Amino acid sequence: MGFELVPESPVEPKVWMVNHGGWYKILDLAQHHGWSPAGTLPPPTWIRMDGTPAQEADGQESWRGGYISNEGQLVTAADAANMATALEAAAQGMSDEPMGVPGEVAQAYLMGLTHVMERLAPAGVANLAAALATATQRMPDPPAGVPWESAKSYLLRLAHFMRESNGFYVT
């Protein structure tokens, strides 16, 4: 589970997906590089805590404007552009080195985990150890010519998405 950033205007990709930890890091990184959150606008169909529908006018009075829930709140175009500028600034100090775990590293980790489980686990867990052992054999490295993406590249693509989205919903 995580967050989907859904743009107001058509842009590619149509939805930007990020896990919870990644979204919190993005927000923190943007703030650390000059973004001042303007606050979000309530979702179009916002419901009050008492379960009654809120009209946009009175919903904005009690909406807290947060970014860390995925309730369909709107990050305005201006706020998204400011966040994009901060992420671009953050990316400038980053390496072009790819991030990620190559397949052989993940395989070695899972094989070690499998070995520990076989030695320590009761017989009922042996099936899980066997499944992990099978999984390690099916984890290929990325195809030739398809490198792991760098953090710098990721942030620049996300900044482009935010800038072109004309604002986005956090769902």
79-99 per-position pLDDT tens digit: 999 999 999 999 998 888 776
CA distances from 138 to 11, 115, 147 (A): 34, 17, 19
**Pairwise pLDDT comparison (32 vs 137), residue with the higher score:** 32
Q: How confident is the model at residue 143 (pLDDT cuts 50, 70, 90)?
A: very low
**pLDDT score, position 127:** 66
**pLDDT score, position 151:** 87
**Pairwise pLDDT comparison (48 vs 78), residue with the higher score:** 78
What percent of the chain lies above the pLDDT cut of 90?
Answer: 41
What burial letters (b/e) apply to 46-69, b meaning 16+ CB within 10 Å?
Answer: beeeeeeebeeeebeeebeeebee
